[in-house]
Amino acid sequence: MFSKRKTTTALLLGASSVALVACGTTVSSSTSTTAASTATTQAAASGGSIKTGLKVVVIPKVIGNSYFTTADSVQSGGALAALQSLGETGSETSGTAATPSSQLPVIQSAITQGANALVISATDPTALCPTLNQAMAKGITVVTYDSDAPTCRNLFVNQASTSQIGTSEVDLLAKQINSTGDIAIVSATASATNQNAWIGYMKQELTKYPNMHLVSIVYGNDDPATATAVTQGLLQQYPNLKGIISPTTVGIAAAAALLDTPQYRGKIALTGLATPNEMKKYVADGTVTSFELWNPANLGYLAGYAAAELASKAITNTPGQTFTAGKLGKYTIASDHSILLGAPYVFDKTNINNFNF
Ligand code: RAM
């Protein structure tokens, strides 16, 4: 786990410009002109050799969410940048809704097109697993990032400790509301592994705060309009609400926009997981005090790197094995076949302007 100092450095390294992808269409962007059919090998940073010319398909939960654009794009230094630096042919593709029915055709098409590896944030492990298992049966490496599908992948690249994310979100809100009052959660989709795991730890942590009461969990499906509607519903139904946790970049942005009025500002606290750029306005005007995230570009970079290592058989995925992920340094494969990027980072008015993603 990174020390705070090291995490800051890691975040700053990826604090470059964010390329936005238009909402409403499935996009695919090639990162390398290397011919997939002529895979060759180059010396790996550690262990065996990484092949070049591998076809790697990066499948975020949805296209058009700036968190995933940062995690994936060449411009931000994300997954496609790692793949490009290794000489692979990387592309990013998904649907326009964060649903398994949007992701399934994309996975199927990647299999048909002879992908060597998939890097995927799972919208719903139950719905995706038969197809991901089919991919692995064909020898395709499956790496999950951001949101896991634990029973049907080779390796999970975890952004930060799941328990730490859940418990620290509750602790942050508790500080802001003096550990007292009704609170609610604005989540993403009800089937997302990451959201449900974090919420599980939030509930556990709330037992330490007997005067904080979780009155509702609503789901904005990582869709701005839905997130706005469900948050509006919460505000109407619970007039005494004191705080909201939204562990999704889309949900917290929708909630912040709604709370940014004299009626709510300073009366209902909001925290969660957000990109600093989307919260700068709200931190400046006092709607939001502090929130968390990790460096999404580094998450994608690590996932892209790990996919190339595994698909090349440069690493064997054995727990305890280490590999060097380019600029990010050395990582160790844990017993559950996962690797951990680092610790979550807390943003507030003292540091938010140091970041640009
Ligand atoms: C949203 C997604 C993603 C989550 C981030 C914090 O963009 O739900 O899965 O990790 O927020």
pLDDT digit string, tens, across residues 79-106: 999 999 999 999 999 999 999 999 999 9
Q: How far is the CA of 61 from the centre of ligand 1 (A)?
A: 8
Q: How far is the CA of 34 from the centre of ligand 1 (A)?
A: 31
**Residue 229 DSSP label:** H
- CATH 3.40.50.2300-classified regions of the chain: 9-159+295-354, 162-293
The atom number, within ligand 1, closest to the CA of 68 reads: 7
Residues 6+ apart with CB under 8 A from 12: 354, 355
| The pair of three-digit structure tokens given for residue 343, joined into one six-digit string | 């610790």
**Residue 43 DSSP label:** E
Using CA positions, which residue lies closest to atom 10 of ligand 1?
A: 146
Question: Is the CB–ligand 1 distance for residue 249 below 6 Å?
Answer: yes
Q: How far is the CA of 33 from the centre of ligand 1 (A)?
A: 30
Point out which residues pair with 338 in neighbouring strands. Answer: 156
pLDDT tens column, 31-73: 433 333 334 554 444 567 999 999 999 999 999 999 999 999 9
Rounded Cα distance, 176 and 162, in Å = 22
Rounded Cα distance, 215 and 181, in Å = 10
Amino acid (one-letter) located at 94 = S
**163: three-class secondary structure by DSSP:** helix
Using CA positions, which residue lies closest to atom 8 of ligand 1?
A: 248
Parallel, antiparallel or unpaired: strands 141-145 and 155-160: parallel
Selected from 3.40.50.2000, 3.40.50.2300, 3.40.50.300, 3.90.1150.10, the CATH number assigned to the domain covering 162-293 reads 3.40.50.2300
Residue 284 confidence (pLDDT) above 50 = yes
Angle at 208 (CA atoms; ends 206, 209), nearest 5 degrees? 70
Question: Is the CB–ligand 1 distance for residue 188 below 6 Å?
Answer: yes
Residues 6+ apart with CB under 8 A from 182: 213, 215, 238, 240, 241, 242, 243
pLDDT tens column, 101-123: 999 999 999 999 999 999 999 99
Task: Look up tokens 């904005």; give the residue.
Answer: 220
Superfamily of domain 9-159+295-354: Response regulator (3.40.50.2300)
Using CA positions, which residue lies closest to atom 1 of ligand 1?
A: 248
Task: Look up tokens 């398994």; give the residue.
Answer: 100
